[in-house]
Amino acid sequence: MSTQPSKNLDTFPNPHPGRDYIIEIESPEFTCLCPKTGQPDFATLSLEYVPDRLCVELKSLKLYIWSYRHEGHFHEDVTNRILSDLVAVLQPRYMRLRAKFNVRGGLYTTVEVVHRQSGWNSPPPPPADLPREIQELPAREAPAATPAKAPAVSVATAPKPRDPVPLAEPAAPVATPPKPRNPVPLTEPAVPAAPAPPASNRFRMLRRTHRSEPPPTAATIIEPAPPEPVVRQDGLYIGIDLGTTGCRAIAVDASGTIKAEMSAPIAAPLRKDDQVTQDPTVWWKAVSGCLQNLLKEIDPARVRALAVDGTSGTLLLSDNKGNPVTPAIMYNDRRAVEQADTIATLADTNSGAQGAGSSLAKLLWLHERKLDKRATHALHQSDWISGRLTGRYGHSDYNNCLKLGFDAEKMAWPKWVNKLGLNVTLLPEVHVPGEPLETVSADIAKNFGLPADTQVLAGTTDGVAAFLAAGATEPGHAVTVLGTTLVLKLLSDKPVFSLEHGIYSHRLGKYWLAGGASNSGGAVLLQYFKVEQMQEMTPLLDPENFTELDYYPLPDIGERFPVNNPEMMPRLEPLPGNSITFFQGMLEGIGRIEAQGYKLLEKLGAPAITTVYTAGGGAKNPAWERIRERILRVKMEKARSKHAAYGSALLAAGIVAKTYQ
């Protein structure tokens, strides 16, 4: 049989002509061109029919559907045309074709057409109790992804007990031990020393020794020591990664070897204009499902610690028991523009709280609408999940708190936050990532079969966790996360900030992770292609020859990095004559955004990139890797793991403690 597109439909005799039964066929890869613009239209075809004398042969149907890829058709016309051709060849007793087209200009189109043979008495649709045969069109094999191997990592030895890091004025003597969660005016370490009231426990780092000891006085900022490892040689350690549409949990042993992993979907956030929200309870449903399935693959009694990462800038308010009093405002929500302008008049230009995407701007938006009246805690995604595990809320880490205004250089909440008029008691207590928070609650231990002394450690953001998972260890090493968005992280010996370009730096021990997140990435690809389509087209790409299409792919209006412009428009023209070229042009455009980002970081003082590790779903595409390698002109390395959950697992195991100290 031919393997070229064809309008010929082959048939074979119905093996059971004396019985009514239904055949269902689904093709998620239908493509034709818009007759007005020439831009590709993509649809899922669902065919259902009751055969009479003949059945359609699937390979010929695949080639028939393929033949429309370079033809221009209106949605309504092409759906009717396909049904008419099938009816002419098969003469079925009943046939229904449903074509669900992907978004175009903000609109989804679904066309459904039906044929019933004269004299066939069953009403449409056919009776539900008929025997049903479900078939799928044969698809080309997608290139298999080579699983990343996790080499053994040396376990960090426990450092000597350390004093807590003061997050208030370092030079101010503390008269009495601080009382937990007692709100006080936020202080600025650079202010000359003067007698000060007791510092709130909310603004101090936890440590292993007794909390009530007064912090030491000092004339300069005290650098935070790395968290103490909690490694036991026979133990297992779990990392949990929360994304926008999915959750993943990975268990490792003390050497970092993966022992089991599980994933679960999360319902997509709700979008309304600039507002993007999500119900936090769907996070817990996904996390608990992942944990339950993961613990079936390992011995729960061996679990020693867990750590959680989540999307940076996502914020919700909860009461004192952790019950959400607002939906979660997602990282890419853009409602707080006016509040961001207010923050900009007060905050240092290097503050991570700059911009409408910051969690501080979202908190101010909620405060101005009095939606924080019943709240006790302002929490990030990973903070809330950690609270569900321990039963204690109001704790975070200095990576997540960067966009809430926390100054990771001075290790303090800045004084200007007071001027916003917020209820500062909502702000979480800040910890070093990897530092123990609390053991799991009695209910969690019972429900999941975990030991009662299982520790929950302070987590981090998903971008930092992905960096930890990749294996980068030296300044100049960079990690590109090809996920829903494009995230760049470059290990630097000093922080780099640029509000103009959307650049900020996360602290990582003695180093810094300089970078930013572009709105470009997998989200825009999924607006035009299904995952199966991209897998099928990948072997047909030509990475050694660029398309010369000057695309800047964005899923919507607005960009964060390397251009910080909320009004920036996507650029996806001119349109090529086929979907494969269109796909490659988009991949090249995202690659150029990546290169522009790293060049900008170098220009602003970060080291030049020497090696790039790749994580995220896009890391599975070998043609895209070659395209990026040609654009970046640096050595490309496979990430030790492509999953941020692995980075959180290493954090839980204490393995990364000495790497960056």
Q: Tens of pLDDT along 355-398?
A: 898 999 999 999 999 999 999 999 999 999 999 999 999 999 99
Segment holding 513, helix H or strand E: strand 511-518
**pLDDT greater at residue 277 or residue 175:** 277
Q: How many CB atoms lie within 10 A of CB 627?
A: 23
Give the amino acid at 135: Q
Which pLDDT band holds residue 243 (cuts at 50, 70, 90)? confident
pLDDT at 595: 96
Angle between helices 644-653 and 462-470 (to 10 degrees): 80
From 359, 274, 377, select the one nearest 311 (Cα to Cα).
359
pLDDT at 184: 33
- β-pairing verdict for 107-116 and 11-13: unpaired
Q: What is the mean pLDDT of residues 462-483?
A: 91
What are the two backbone dihedrals, phi and then psi, of residue 305, each rounded to the nearest 5 degrees? -160, 155
Pick from 124-138, 194-208, 306-320, 435-449: least confident:
194-208
Rounded to whole angstroms, how far apart are CA atoms 495 and 409? Answer: 9
Pick from 89-93, 200-204, 452-456, 510-514: least confident:
200-204
Give the amino acid at 515: G
Q: Please, are residues 183 and 234 in contact by the beta-carbon 8 Å criterion?
A: no
**pLDDT greater at residue 110 or residue 349:** 110
- What lies within 8 Å, CB to CB, of 123 at 6+ separation is none
Rounded to whole angstroms, how far apart are CA atoms 280 and 588? Answer: 36
pLDDT over 50 (residue 158): no
pLDDT over 70 (residue 304): yes
- Statement: the pTM of the whole predicted model exceeds 0.75: no
pLDDT at 636: 87
Q: Round the average pLDDT of the chain to a whole number and report it.
A: 83
Which pLDDT band holds residue 151 (cuts at 50, 70, 90)? very low
pLDDT at 135: 57
pLDDT at 202: 36
Segment holding 66, helix H or strand E: helix 58-66
- What lies within 8 Å, CB to CB, of 140 at 6+ separation is 536, 539
Which pLDDT band holds residue 2 (cuts at 50, 70, 90)? low
pLDDT over 60 (residue 41): yes
Q: List beta partners, residue 499.
A: none
From 392, 396, 402, select the one nearest 354 (Cα to Cα).
402
201-239 pLDDT tens trace: 333 333 333 333 443 333 344 455 555 544 445 899 999
From 231, 207, 158, 228, select the one nearest 649 (Cα to Cα).
231
Rounded to whole angstroms, how far apart are CA atoms 249 and 307? Answer: 10
pLDDT over 80 (residue 484): yes
H-only helix segments in 74-167: 75-90
pLDDT at 384: 97
What are the two backbone dihedrals, phi and then psi, of residue 499, each rounded to the nearest 5 degrees? -60, -40
Q: What is the mean pLDDT of residues 134-162?
A: 42
pLDDT over 80 (residue 455): yes
54-88 pLDDT tens trace: 999 999 999 999 999 888 899 999 999 999 989 98
Rounded to whole angstroms, how far apart are CA atoms 652 and 454? Answer: 11
Cα 323 versus chain centre, distance: 24
Which pLDDT band holds residue 130 (cuts at 50, 70, 90)? low
pLDDT at 219: 36
pLDDT at 413: 95
Rounded to whole angstroms, how far apart are CA atoms 558 and 526? Answer: 18
Q: How many CB atoms lie within 10 A of CB 507?
A: 23
**Look-up of token digits 């929200």:** 277
Q: List beta partners, residue 170.
A: none
